[in-house]
Chains A and B, each alone.
Chain A
Amino acid sequence: MTNPTFPVAGTGLAGTPQSTGLSIRHAVMELGDGGTRVTALDDVSLDAAPGEFLAIVGPSGSGKSSLLAVAGALATPDSGTVTVHGQDLSQLNQGRRAAFRLSNIGFVFQSGNLIPALTAADQLRLVNRLAGGPKTFDPIALLESVGMAHRAGNRPGQLSGGERQRVGIARALVTGAKLLLVDEPTAALDRTRSREVVELLARQSHEHGVATVMVTHDHDVLGYCDRVVEMVDGRLVAAAPVA
């Protein structure tokens, strides 16, 4: 599954961003104010190609979530460019960015991911409605693909942590987004569940040509990833090739 020929993170990437997937070039972002400013991203460049499953590891506070925020058009870097499917995100205003996220980027968050009031099927239906998707949209088929069709009528409160993450993944795929950003999906799961969830992510990205960037602390699951990069103090460093 590993792909050692892929360029590894760092500063050595070529200047032109690729027109598909995710391209981050020389992103710098400072957070906080006054005397407590931290450099969350320090000249970060990163590519994720369609169909590639990329993992980001690193110590707490090293800037992993910040990198996802920048890649997902949730935060704007102070300098550098972020390109998703050929679209330079800095060209978009607030409202257009939301619309762009809706149809092009899928998110899977660590927890509190799902809307408590909605059943699994309704979580998916809501996103389809938000995106103005087809009336014929069938959430059950999508839930089936993550193995959750049998729980379509259950609310998050009645689902286990692993099941919630599966529904979350299905929801991120509703609009056919080709970039999936995943923040610590296994933080609340045991080993077996973690493996199942990450395996699902790997399968989805490979089968549907989705570029997936996953932040994780869980070294057990790195075997499913095509590439692993490590963040330290806001910088990307190459990680040891995955076994």
Chain B
Amino acid sequence: MFLALRELVFARGRFSLMGGVIALIAVLMVMLSGLSSGLVNDGVSGLKAMPVTAFAFDQGTKTDNAFSRSVIDDQQLSAWRGVEGVAAAEKMGVGMANATTDSGKQVDLTLFGVEPGSFLEPSRSAGTGLGDTDGIVVSSTAKAEGVDLGTVVTLDRIGTKLKVVGFTEGQATFGHVDVAYLPLKTWQLIASGRAAAGIPSAAQLSALSFDTASVVAVQAKPGAKLDLAAGDTAAGTSSKSLSAAFDASPGYEAETMTLSMIQVFLYAICALVVGAFFTVWTIQRKHEIAVLRAIGASTGYLLRDGLAQAAILLVGFTALGVAAGLGLGAAMPDAMPFALEAAPIAVATTLTIGLGLIGAAVAVVRISRIDPLNALGGQR
């Protein structure tokens, strides 16, 4: 690295320009990664937090928005309960609702109807659990919208009143909307379209003959491998593992695909730009490399030196860019779905450096094709 370091210092102007581009790419990578994590959280954090192995949708349900589209009944539920390896299975209702708080603020909620006390009931950071016919446990992120313990939200149009009795642990959103957990019976009352204005009464609930829900949530026994296909055949459903079910949440697939595509392009740009720079740089050094080879420098030494130079440049400026990106990310407005998570940022950093190095390597390999004879006889 004797030569590599001295050349970095000597041609610092050129290398800083290139480094600036690398740093900006790294900043963009961190931003995209944060946006991507943020959107994922916003889209499916409500699902992610659930201790569920798989969701079973009614057979033939279209993937997009499948959660609110699917309808399952008790027969399908009991079929799933009989499948080998299933620890627990519960009906779950999913629906979207617009509501107004008692202070007149309009909020959007995703209603998750779950059996109180079942494994689907969320862990809470505050308040009590589900139980009361009108009690809801809301995503902790709803606090930012002015929702508090004891707040009463009235569902628009039907006028059903629900009271906030608890907050989830961490963010629980679904399709970019805060989740409100409520007892399955209450959910069914609302879904049946027969809910009256005001607090849902026990009498109303017991009179209801509506026992369908949206999906069957299945939890596998620890260590057991679920045979989803067997369950589907028995129950007449089509099931998806928890992470595969993310695609069934509103807009999830489209959003993540768009962002992944931008990231793939950015990696390609990084490799190409770094490759182009080192191609020009190597061509500029052609005579000097011919002289070094004529003197007797081994090809291996020159290649190692060239690659070390690229590595120093990439690692240095990517680190700078990531640091700047983290700083910018911390300053993002709350309204923006943005989450800085270590793992995706580490992956993005590694890929930026790795692909940049591949680009540089393709260029630096030229060194081995430079003929030491070029050193003789001046500018031939």
Q: Is the CB of B377 within 8 A of A115?
A: no
If A112-B288, A116-B10, A155-B10 touch, does A130 touch B295 (CB 8 Å cutoff)?
Answer: yes
Q: Is the CB of A184 within 8 A of B296?
A: no
Q: Is the CB of B288 within 8 A of A115?
A: yes
**Nearest chain A CB to B178 CB, angstrom units:** 59
If over half of B's interface residues share one DSSP class (helix, strand or loop), that class is named, otherwise mixed; here it is helix
Contacts of A68 in B (CB 8 A): 376
If A112-B379, A183-B376 touch, does A72 touch B2 (CB 8 Å cutoff)?
Answer: no
Q: Could you say which of A107, A130, A155, A187 contacts B301, with CB atoms under 8 Å apart?
A: A130
Which parts of A118-159 form the interface with B (CB within 8 Å)?
Answer: 118, 122, 125-127, 129-131, 155
Q: Is the CB of B287 within 8 A of A112?
A: yes
Contacts of A130 in B (CB 8 A): 292, 295-298, 301
Q: Is the CB of A109 within 8 A of B296?
A: no
Contacts of B297 in A (CB 8 A): 98, 102, 130
Q: Is the CB of B376 within 8 A of A69?
A: yes
Contacts of A118 in B (CB 8 A): 3, 6
If A95-B298, A98-B293, A184-B377 touch, does A116 touch B2 (CB 8 Å cutoff)?
Answer: no
A interface footprint on B2-18 (CB within 8 Å = 1, 0 otherwise): 11001101110000000
B interface footprint on A72-105 (CB within 8 Å = 1, 0 otherwise): 1011000000000000000000010011111101
Q: Is the CB of A112 within 8 A of B294?
A: no
Q: Could you say which of B292, B296, B301, B373 contacts A69, with CB atoms under 8 Å apart?
A: B373
- Interface residue count for A (Cβ, 8 Å)? 37
Contacts of A117 in B (CB 8 A): 3, 6-7, 9-11
Which parts of B338-380 form the interface with A (CB within 8 Å)?
Answer: 372-373, 375-379
Contacts of A122 in B (CB 8 A): 2, 6
C-alpha spacing A74/B376, complex, angstroms = 9
Q: Is the CB of B291 within 8 A of A112?
A: yes
C-alpha spacing A74/B144, complex, angstroms = 75
Chain B residues within 8 Å of A, Cβ to Cβ: 2-3, 6-7, 9-11, 287-288, 291-299, 301, 372-373, 375-379
Q: List 15 A-B contacts (CB under 8 A).
A: A74-B294, A74-B376, A98-B299, A98-B372, A102-B297, A109-B376, A111-B379, A112-B288, A112-B375, A112-B379, A116-B288, A129-B2, A130-B298, A183-B378, A187-B378
18 further A-B pairs in the complex, CB-CB below 8 A; given A95-B298, A109-B375, A125-B2: A75-B373, A98-B293, A98-B298, A109-B291, A111-B378, A111-B379, A112-B379, A115-B3, A115-B288, A115-B291, A117-B3, A117-B10, A117-B11, A118-B3, A126-B3, A129-B2, A130-B292, A130-B296
